[in-house]
Amino acid sequence: MPILASADWLILLIYCFFVLSAGVSLAPAITGSKDYLQAGRKLPGWLCGLAFISAGMGSLEVLGMGAAGAKYGLASMGFFALGSIPAMLFAALVLMPVFYGAVSAPGAPVRSIPEYLGLRFDQKTRALNAVLFTAMALFSAGISLYAMARIVAELHVFDTVADRLSLPPAGALLLAMALPAVLVLAYVLLGGLAAAMYNQLLQFFVLVAGLLPIVLLGLKRVGGWSGLKAADSLTGAAHTGGHSMGIGMVGLVLGAGLVLGGSTWCTDFRLLQTAMAAKNAAAARRAPLVAATLRIFVPLLLVLPGLLAVGLPTPHTTIVIHNENGAIYHEITVVPPAIEAGQGMVPAKADAAGQPVKGADGKPVLDYAMAMPNMLLQFLPTGLLGLGLAALLACLMSGVAASLTASNTVFACDIYQAFLKKDASDKQILKAGRWATLGGILLAFGAACAAMRSNDLLDAVVLVFAVVNAPLFATLLLGALCKRATGHGAFAGLIAGMAAALLHHGLALPRGEQPGIHGGWIKVLHHPASDMALGLGTAALAFVVSLLVTAAVSVCTAPRPEGELTGLTFRSAAESASGAWWKRPETVAAAIILLAAIAVNLVFL
């Protein structure tokens, strides 16, 4: 059983101290709601860019990328690049100027995506999105708390602490969820979005510092490039033939590139809030560009550990006999059966008795989420292990903090000020934001406890995302690009998109899954190749339905007078900027980033 030494503890504690001190040192500067909810709109573009990418790397994404590497191999690198970089560039060039530049009154810039919806469309669209977004953000924050706590419990690194406190296993899990939640609550309550973003900056670097050594050591261990290719042939790609996720090329480009990427990096306020805190419009456009540049290399850091884990030898129970001063020692290393049944460092899922869980085809079901965390224990010596665990803690906190700051802004601006107390003073909005932070973390913790009881909730995150974000991407796209789109159209489109997503999820079931949270809860009509394919299909359908219904209803309803839309659409926002759009430096930068991303991914195909 791995035990943390004092060097590991020291590094973990120093990290926690720095995280808290960001909140404490910024607390005196928070005097109004703008400071608290939008970091004063004073931050430089590079900082917003790093926070942007860090907010998109919560525990679910980080564990998910490692798991995808182990499950689908090198093919997943292209998937993640396609699902992020084009959308980030689109956000930088087209959407950020609109979202950042929109004003609700002279000198009062838009504070959130629902507020933009209220200005561009109408109050009912704003209210619908505000409520759905808050629910989604807090639910997924809770799930990511649980997902990481489960991994940490499986690693058994904190077992000595739990033993000393004589906690039952469930108590240890609860503690592993509560401690990060309290840390995040403390710094978000004190320093608001600014503290969250300053910490996201630190979290990004801690993630790199903690995980890069396992990539380097892992590559050395399997024997470099040829070893990596050998590991790749052991993943799902080799078994199914063709693309390992069972999605055609067209589906991949449209599903991942357009819908999944767009509804994450162009739509999700948890990410966009960081760019909207920039000090000026140029910095707001630069933020997604900075993030896209770094994002090219993120799969190398997060997908490769999972893939390398597959290529390592599977541990087995061994007996080593050695002779020391005439005495014969039998050294027995016992490996639990669930780990022995795994593939490389990826263990099989264990049932209550510790035996491997078998799938419908008689093969053990692998617990892919453990791939990357197991690599930490495999390669990091005492000392660096502390930094590796800090990296896991960092990605968890940056994701939860992003959810918390986004939902408190949406609650304070779009629920409290917009509907509950229309004449609220700035002090009251600030207060509402702080109470929303406290309430938010409690709700998220409740979701985490619910997930602890029923593991299936982990898989519901993908569905919730497809229901809330994919239709919204269509709404925002039409809202920003097309002045003919109307409020009734947007509202109808959102509802129709959500209904379509739920219906599709209810009628399709991936092969080898039970009906329920994985799909097929109405009636199983067709079988997508994988969970990933079902998620993409659901999101794509929601997007298309929302787009079509919004367009159709908009054509039938009266358009808004053009004068009311000044600064709310891309065309009117672009008129005020100087020069043609293809001549601007950010367009050139975007083209260079796109080419670099293609080049990096071609190497791995």
Partner 1 sequence: MAKKAKTDLAVKSAVSPTIEVDARIAVGMFFTLTGTILAAFGLSTRDQMNVYAKSLGIDANLWWGLALLVFGILMLAFGRRGQIKMDKAGK
- Among positions 199-238, residues that touch partner 1 (CB under 8 A) are 201-202, 205-206, 209, 213, 217, 220-221
For partner 1, the closer of residues 16 and 458 by Cβ is 16
For partner 1, the closer of residues 36 and 133 by Cβ is 36
Q: How many residues bind partner 1 (CB under 8 A)?
A: 39
Interaction between residue 194 and partner 1 (CB under 8 A)? yes
For partner 1, the closer of residues 26 and 141 by Cβ is 26
| Candidate ranges 24-32, 68-76, 281-289, 554-562; the one touching partner 1 (CB under 8 A) | 24-32
Interaction between residue 373 and partner 1 (CB under 8 A)? no
Minimum CB separation of residue 9 from partner 1 in Å reads 11
Interaction between residue 571 and partner 1 (CB under 8 A)? no
Interaction between residue 375 and partner 1 (CB under 8 A)? no
**Are the C-beta atoms of 217 and 437 separated by less than 8 Å?**
no
Q: What's the CA angle centered on 54, arms 246 and 383, to 5 degrees?
A: 100
The three-state secondary structure class of 43 is: strand
Out of 198, 265, 368, 465, the only residue in the binding site for partner 1 (CB under 8 A) is 198
**Are the C-beta atoms of 301 and 375 separated by less than 8 Å?**
no
| x/- map, 27-56, partner 1, by CB under 8 A | -xx-x---x---xx-xx---x---------
Interaction between residue 18 and partner 1 (CB under 8 A)? yes
DSSP structure class, residue 348: B
Out of 76, 112, 140, 378, the only residue in the binding site for partner 1 (CB under 8 A) is 378
Alpha-carbon distance of 349 to 363, in angstroms, equals 11
> Helix 75-82 to helix 298-311 angle, to the nearest 10 degrees?
160
DSSP for 264-325? HHTT-HHHHHHHHTBSSHHHHHHHHHHHHHHHTTHHHHHHHHHHHHHHSPPP--EEEEEEET
Phi, psi of 332, deg, nearest 5: -105, 125
For partner 1, the closer of residues 55 and 415 by Cβ is 55
For partner 1, the closer of residues 217 and 495 by Cβ is 217
| x/- map, 386-415, partner 1, by CB under 8 A | -x----------------------------
Alpha-carbon distance of 346 to 334, in angstroms, equals 17
**Are the C-beta atoms of 392 and 399 separated by less than 8 Å?**
no
Interaction between residue 290 and partner 1 (CB under 8 A)? no
Residue 179 host element (H or E)? helix 169-222
CB-neighbour burial class of residue 28 (10 A; exposed 0-12, middle 13-18, buried 19+): exposed
Minimum CB separation of residue 32 from partner 1 in Å reads 11
**Are the C-beta atoms of 481 and 570 separated by less than 8 Å?**
yes
Minimum CB separation of residue 378 from partner 1 in Å reads 7
Minimum CB separation of residue 201 from partner 1 in Å reads 5
Out of 383, 439, 506, 567, the only residue in the binding site for partner 1 (CB under 8 A) is 383
Minimum CB separation of residue 396 from partner 1 in Å reads 17
- What would you measure as the largest C-alpha separation in the chain, in angstroms? 96
Nearest Cα neighbor of 307 from 216, 378, 234, 388 is 234
For partner 1, the closer of residues 6 and 566 by Cβ is 6
Which chain residues interact with partner 1 by CB under 8 A? 7, 10-11, 14-15, 18, 21-22, 25-26, 28-29, 31, 35, 39-40, 42-43, 47, 194, 197-198, 201-202, 205-206, 209, 213, 217, 220-221, 378-384, 387
